[in-house]
Amino acid sequence: MLVEINLLPKKEHRKSSQLIIAAIIFILIAIIISVIYFQGRSYENEMELVDQKILTLEKLNNAQQEKLAEENAGNSVIKLQEAVQWIEQYPVLTVPIMQNIISLLPERGFIQSFEYSNMDSILVTIQYDAARDSAFYLSSLKQSEWVREAELMNVVAIETVEETGSINDSEGKTLPRYSAAYKIVFHPELFKPAAVEGGDES
């Protein structure tokens, strides 16, 4: 007995299933491509925003640097002008000041340090053999015409070793010494070149 089998419907079913699977695959691929595309566009937009921010920051930074450079240049010019003005207004000669300081020293007085503390004042440290010499020197300073103010800042006792001159005595003799610091405010107009030269001529 022969059995007749019809396979045509099954073929149609098979074809429809393949079409559905192909459509699903196509849709998935389209979705994946769309997601990748939109993510790429979003990334590009973010990169553009970052680039714009970087350019903005660079412009602000350059503007700030230019401003600082202009301010520094302006400050340098101002400081230079002030220095020149100070030199022109208060040019004092150090040698005459030193000569006046030395002329008032006692026989055993020695200058240890000398420095300007302002345009019209100096700090001087002097060493003496006796503590009372510091007071005598202060009195002499106050009586000098070139001194406007004089102040004894401090007196410090120090010890120095003086050689005795004996061959057998190698240690020497320890002697007390005194170091006194003074602040002297002087009349700057007396030590300008014109004033000093005029005094020399007379």
Q: 163-182 pLDDT, tens per residue? A: 555 444 545 666 778 999 99
**Most confident listed range (41-45, 58-62, 128-132):** 128-132
Identity at 111, one-letter amino acid code: I
Q: Which domain holds residue 120?
A: 94-162+176-190
Is the same domain home to 45 and 115? Answer: no
Last residue of a domain, one of 89, 115, 142: 89
**133-154 tens-digit pLDDT:** 999 999 999 999 999 999 999 9
What is the per-residue pLDDT for 168? 47
Q: pLDDT tens digits, residue range 96-113?
A: 999 999 999 998 899 999
Is 171 within the bounds of a domain? no
Same domain, residue pair 67 and 37: yes
Report the predicted TM-score, pTM, of the whole model to 2 decimal places: 0.50
Based on the domain organization, do 80 and 105 belong to the same domain?
Answer: no
